[in-house]
Amino acid sequence: MASPPDTSKTVKLERYNSYIRRVNNTRLLNASSKILFRATIIVVLIFIFIFTINNPPLFTTHHTHTTNFLSSAFHGGAWEKQLRHSAVPRRPNGMSVLVTGAAGFVGAHCSLALKKRGDGVLGLDNFNDYYDPSLKRARQDLLSKHQILIIKGDINDTPLLTKLFDVVSFTHVLHLAAQAGVRYAMQNPQSYVASNIAGFVNLLEVSKNANPQPAIVWASSSSVYGLNTENPFSEVHRTDQPASLYAATKKAGEEIAHTYNHIYGLSLTGLRFFTVYGPWGRPDMAYFFFTKDIIQGKTINVYQTQEEKQVARDFTYIDDIVKGCLGALDTAEKSTGSGGKKRGPAQLRVYNLGNTSPVPVGKLVAILEGLLNLKAKKHVIKMPRNGDVPYTHANVSLAYKDFGYKPTTDLATGLRKFVKWYVGYYGVHLGVKRENHHGDSA
């Protein structure tokens, strides 16, 4: 019997050939996907480049704190000229001040006051959306009418800050950029860490490397007194029991300031602001949204303590705060370091800036009712456990001794000025609600 032909070799050969074809196909596929991948990357990079060139301001959103760091590298000579023009003093021995948070409430007022007396001011602000950014834009418009430029950028953007210090030899920094608000810290804790701690450290890093190093005046807060029960609050009282994360980050700022003063010879002054209010104020603050809600006929929550006592604040009018900030700047000594190295001891200070006269929140509401000629719908409730403290009361004798700080505006007078601004800005006829020029209803 003839034996069947031996096909095993042919089969093996065919299997081997098909294996080789598969390998070659896969290689071909891999090579073409690599080319495709690389081409995509190049196209994306070209897009980013074009986008960055065409959009010089930095894009920062409050909640993510993502900053387009690339963009700061592309500003040209004309931009630098604008910076210098804004920052150059117009009086003999005038200051050149970098104001962070310049589109904010206190920042805008201080920038105007500095410029008006002949100092140079360059503003920096990230225009985040913690509250209506159109109000920040309106403040920016006001400042630009006084030749004050505000750069859009974040204090966490090291290349941008370094660039600003390269272009301008700032004598002073007034650092007011921060995540404010006591109660919001429970909703967005990370934003407090990003601005009040990381951002502050970044500013100090860049400042200590600058030549010359600037003197720095910055915003701390009355909230650092936390659970302190001694009254009125003095700078020598304990501040190691913060009641909110906001307070804790401001207290951390005071300790961080100590470190940079100690290691690098930076001149640092912290100002503990006590519930600042007035025209162009912050819509997240009680006096502001009470006004809005009373006009709109909405119910307002008026807090009382767990013991059913009135909650009180040492409300401080903005013009008094501005005087305090300028006084602190005027008496700030030069930093002693250079090239990132300390050359000798430098000034380290902290001051209360309050009104020395606490007012219960119920009284604040009564004053607003009188000014608005409207009755508030009040809902008196126990203060939620959200970081609030029952009262604040400033002893300002240290600020008085060192730079003549003396608050002169009582709450009724200050609120009258605020309400006048409010109805003008939002286009409200008292008792009648109207659309404002920004399209929001007041």
Binding site for ligand UGB (CB under 6 A): 180-182, 221-223, 273-275, 285-286, 301-303, 311, 313, 361, 383, 388
Nearer to ligand UGB, 71 or 223 (CB): 223
Minimum CB separation from ligand UGB for residue 220, in Å? 8
- Positions annotated as catalytic residues are 246
Neighbouring-strand partners of residue 301: 379
* Nearest distance from C-beta of residue 180 to ligand UGB, angstroms: 4
Nearer to ligand UGB by C-beta: 96 or 355? 355
- Nearer to ligand UGB by C-beta: 57 or 283? 283
Query: Are 214 and 270 in contact, with CB atoms under 8 Å apart?
Result: no
Task: Write down the least CB distance from residue 184 to ligand UGB, Å.
Answer: 9
Nearer to ligand UGB by Cβ, of 69 and 421: the residue is 421
Return the residue nearest ligand UGB (CB atom): 221
- Give the Cα separation of 72 and 152 in Å (integer): 10
CB of 137 vs ligand UGB, minimal distance in Å? 21
CB of 155 to ligand UGB, least distance (A): 17
CB-nearer residue toward ligand UGB: 133 or 362: 362
